[in-house]
Amino acid sequence: MLDWLRILWHLARGRRTLWQYYTNVTWRTCERCLAWHGRIGASPRAFPNPNDGCERKLLAFPVWELPTYREKARLMRRRVEEELERRRLFQEAKQMLAKAPEQALELFDRAAAVDVYIPELEQLAREHGESLAGAPELSARLREIFLRRWSEKFAKARYERLPERMRLAREKWGENRIKELFP
């Protein structure tokens, strides 16, 4: 449907305001909430309120800005798909680490290119701590991958909004943590 037709359709129903659903896309946002990220509705009642610890915001916007918000929704949807793919790659990499480390390293690198979350690395180090202690070269290569991708993460647009000093402190904190986890 053309955008102006959509707008007319809402206006004809007396709607001046529409709502868009936002959640914070991170490693622990549940799939149910991710599925709502970016969705547009005619009333706040059109959305679930799971109260499950995931962030939930409904953003009101004027009906005539629908094209802009539909474009936002498309980008938000893409971000969700990237995150789901990242999780899949990360899990697969973990399963392969003992048997096929080369492939596992490649998958970790692809997952980390999307994003790096320290709690997941902590879990990885916990689960594979013993075998990594016996394989210092593998541990070093994991460290190299995660450090490189971690630093890239802070160069990305969504981190540019953080004040410079906070951004640097967070980046440094993560760097140290990665070095501790993968010595």
Task: Kindly list the residues in this chain that would bind Zn ion in the complex (CB under 5 A).
Answer: 30, 33, 52, 54
Amino acid at 111: A
- DSSP character at residue 99: T
Q: Which is nearer to Zn ion, 37 or 94 (CB)?
A: 37
CB of 161 to Zn ion, least distance (A): 24
- Rounded distance, CA 80 to CA 157, Å? 17
**Do 45 and 84 touch, CB atoms closer than 8 A?**
no
Instruction: Please report how close the Cβ of residue 76 comes to Zn ion at its closest, in angstroms.
Output: 15
CB of 87 to Zn ion, least distance (A): 14
Nearer to Zn ion, 32 or 158 (CB): 32
Cβ closest to Zn ion, residue 16 vs residue 32: 32
CB closer to Zn ion out of 82 and 92: 82
Tell me the closest approach of the beta carbon of residue 54 to Zn ion, in angstroms. 3
* Contact status, residue 57 vs residue 30, Cβ threshold 8 Å: no
Please give the DSSP secondary-structure letter assigned to residue 39: -
Least distance to Zn ion from the beta carbon of 139, Å? 34
Cβ nearer to Zn ion, comparing 34 with 97: 34
Cβ within 8 Å of residue 68, ≥6 positions away: 61
Q: How far apart are CA 94 and CA 164, in angstroms?
A: 34
22 phi-psi bin (left φ>0, alpha ψ -120 to 50, beta other): beta
Least Å from the CB of residue 152 to Zn ion: 27
**Parallel, antiparallel or unpaired: strands 40-41 and 17-22:** antiparallel
Q: Are 127 and 94 in contact (CB under 8 A)?
A: yes
Nearest to Zn ion of 30, 100 (CB atom): 30
